[in-house]
């Protein structure tokens, strides 16, 4: 029978109780049911003959519509389905995971596949999800890959979503979830002081004795934040959030402080940081001193002229310099440049830090901190830093040169008038 004929037959049967009862009797039903087709339903003790009005009405009218349809064998349980766009994941499943070699992984995800898989294992406790009846959950591997791709490129959420066969909102969620997982599980493990003696020896080889790190700050471009935009305009004229970092002799972050408005001075951010308090209390480094002339010198950090001169913080001489002061400045600058290179590598690896983050004020520091942790992982695993990344980063950073900012502002105003 055709579907329309079956439906017509069912509707006809539902409207005629007598025909239904005849159909039921013809299906070899138990004898007692044939003799008493209208037997009352009883509740509780069998001697209780009282039934409610709903039961009486049901008995009087016979089986329900659903029961009739089931008896006719035309109704089957159908699981509720949820509509969604069909997307293809072949590129990820069949090409990236199966075909790409380490050089392709490095160019696109900033790390080789082996390092990526180790990262997935570390983040799995926080990212593993259960499938639901609505859809299959994203695997940990795919969440991490989406986040790395978005952090490493200036691509839009829609573009990244098209690459991986997911929606743009899924890309945004993956970035935040992976960043939070890194903050919760990895920051304290990878952004840490480590072997202090190795750091001191490394800076000594570069020309500065008993040095435990170099400190500086950098601006991360953001979009204007609602109600407090002026607080985030830095001295170069664009909206930013400050990242202050201490690095070791290899350019790995050993302490970070992120989230301060770009308007603030580096020295003020430093004085309000936990690092400043620990250095002042003498608890950040071990009590390891050397004698220089007739002065005992503790382990120190190196800063540029913006930072305050402290017993544990060395900064360059200014003004007219003699030969010894000039030599001091040269050696300090040679070590200080390590932190500038670290910031350069950080932004070149994770180019999203150069593209005016559109995240919320609460999430921007989490993503920046996650990028610092990923930078350390790449450095510690010996992941190659490709020269082409720096070229692209310099091109993106050129938008924040004061002259280019004015040009950008004029172009934006002109486009808004059109």
pLDDT, residue 57, reads: 42
Least confident window among 20-34, 98-112, 278-292: 20-34
pLDDT, residue 36, reads: 44
Give pLDDT tens digits for 162-177.
999 999 999 999 999 9
Q: CA 117, CA 163: separation in Å to the nearest integer? A: 20
pLDDT, residue 64, reads: 58
The two structure tokens encoding residue 75? 């109704």
Q: CA 335, CA 326: separation in Å to the nearest integer? A: 14
Q: How confident is the model at residue 227 (pLDDT cuts 50, 70, 90)?
A: confident
Q: What is the Cβ-side half-sphere exposure of residue 18, based on CA atoms within 13 angstroms?
A: 0
Q: How confident is the model at residue 158 (pLDDT cuts 50, 70, 90)?
A: very high
Q: CA 366, CA 373: separation in Å to the nearest integer? A: 11
Q: Residue 204: is its pLDDT beyond 80?
A: yes
- What is the separation, in whole angstroms, between the first and last Cα of the chain? 63
- 8 A C-beta contact, residue 244 and residue 410: no
Tell me the backbone φ, ψ of residue 384, rounded to 5 degrees: -65, 135
pTM: 0.76
- Residue 261's beta-bridge partner residues? 241
- Residue 257's beta-bridge partner residues? 244
Q: Residue 124: is its pLDDT beyond 80?
A: yes
- 8 A C-beta contact, residue 352 and residue 172: no
Tell me the backbone φ, ψ of residue 13, rounded to 5 degrees: -65, -40
Q: Report which of 247, 258, 89, 60 is spatially closest to residue 161, judged by C-alpha positions.
A: 89
The two structure tokens encoding residue 82? 């949820």
Least confident window among 88-92, 106-110, 247-251: 88-92
Q: Residue 138: is its pLDDT beyond 60?
A: yes
HEC letters along the chain: CCHHHHHHHHHHHHCCHHHHHHHHHCCCCCHHHHHCCCCCCCCCCCCCCCCCHHHHHHHHHCCCHHHHHHHCCCCCCCCCCCCCCCCCCHHHHHHHCCCCCHHHHHHHHCCCHHHHHHHHHHHHHHHCCCCCCCCCCCCHHHHHHHHHHHHHCCCCHHHHHHHHCCCHHHHHHHHHHHHHHHHHHCHHHHCCCCCHHHHHHHHHHHCCCCEEEEEEEEEEEECCCCCCHHHHECCCCCEEEEEEEEECCCCCEEEEEEEEECCCCHHHHHHCCHHHHHHHHCCCCCCCCEEECCEEECCEEECCCCCCCECCEECCCCCCCCHHHHHHHHHHHHHHHHHHHHHHHHHHHCHHHHCCECCCCCHHHHHHHHHHHHHHHHHHCCCCCCHHHHHHHHHHHHHHCHHHHHHHHHHHHHHHHC
Q: How confident is the model at residue 290 (pLDDT cuts 50, 70, 90)?
A: very high
Give the C-alpha distances (Å, rounded to integers) separating 180 from 80, 96, 97, 331, 370: 34, 25, 25, 39, 8
Q: Residue 220: is its pLDDT beyond 60?
A: yes
Mean pLDDT across the chain: 83
- 8 A C-beta contact, residue 126 and residue 181: yes
- 8 A C-beta contact, residue 353 and residue 371: yes
Q: How confident is the model at residue 24 (pLDDT cuts 50, 70, 90)?
A: low
**Domains of the chain, residue spans:** 3-71, 90-185, 194-417
Give pLDDT tens digits for 31-73.
444 444 433 444 444 444 444 544 544 454 555 555 555 555 5
Better pLDDT: 153 or 130: 153
Number of Cβ atoms within 10 Å of the Cβ of 404:
13
Tell me the backbone φ, ψ of residue 246, rounded to 5 degrees: -110, 130
Give the percent of the chain with pLDDT over 70. 74
């Amino acid at each position: 029978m055709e579907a329309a004929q079956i439906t017509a037959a069912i509707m006809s049967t539902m409207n005629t109780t007598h025909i239904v009862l005849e159909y039921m009797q013809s299906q070899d039903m138990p004898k007692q049911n044939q003799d008493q087709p209208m037997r009352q339903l009883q509740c509780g003790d069998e001697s209780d003959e009282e039934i409610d009005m709903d039961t009486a009405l049901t008995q009087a009218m016979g089986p329900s519509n659903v029961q009739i349809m089931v008896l006719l064998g035309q109704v089957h349980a159908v699981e509720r389905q949820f509509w969604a766009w069909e997307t293809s994941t072949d590129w990820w499943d069949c090409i990236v995971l199966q075909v790409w070699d380490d050089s392709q992984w490095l160019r696109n995800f900033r790390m080789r596949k082996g390092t990526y898989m180790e990262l997935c294992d570390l983040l799995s406790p926080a990212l593993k999800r259960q499938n639901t009846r609505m859809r299959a959950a994203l695997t940990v591997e795919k969440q991490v890959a989406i986040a790395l791709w978005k952090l490493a490129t200036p691509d839009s959420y829609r573009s990244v979503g098209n690459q991986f066969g997911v929606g743009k909102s899924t890309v945004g969620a993956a970035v935040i979830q992976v960043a939070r997982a890194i903050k919760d599980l990895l920051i304290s493990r990878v952004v840490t002081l480590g072997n202090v003696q190795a750091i001191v020896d490394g800076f000594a080889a570069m020309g500065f004795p008993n040095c435990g790190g170099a400190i500086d700050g950098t601006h991360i471009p953001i979009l204007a934040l609602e109600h407090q935009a002026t607080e985030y305009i830095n001295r170069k004229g664009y909206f930013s959030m400050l990242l202050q970092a201490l690095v070791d002799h290899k350019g790995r972050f050993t302490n970070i402080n992120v989230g301060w408005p770009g308007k603030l001075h580096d020295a003020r951010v430093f004085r309000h940081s936990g690092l400043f308090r620990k250095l002042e209390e003498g608890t950040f480094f071990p009590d390891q001193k050397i004698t220089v002339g007739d002065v005992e010198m503790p382990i120190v950090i190196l800063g540029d002229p913006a930072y305050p001169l402290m017993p544990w913080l060395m900064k360059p001489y200014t003004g007219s310099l003699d030969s010894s002061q000039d030599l001091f400045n040269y050696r300090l600058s040679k070590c200080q440049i390590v932190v500038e290179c670290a910031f350069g590598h950080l932004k070149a690896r994770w180019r999203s830090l150069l593209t005016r983050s559109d995240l919320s004020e609460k999430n921007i520091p989490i993503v920046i901190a996650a990028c610092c942790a990923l930078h350390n992982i790449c450095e510690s695993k010996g992941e190659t830093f490709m020269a082409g990344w720096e070229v692209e980063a310099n091109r993106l950073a050129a938008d924040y040169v004061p002259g280019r900012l004015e040009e950008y502002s004029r172009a934006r105003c002109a486009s808004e008038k059109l």
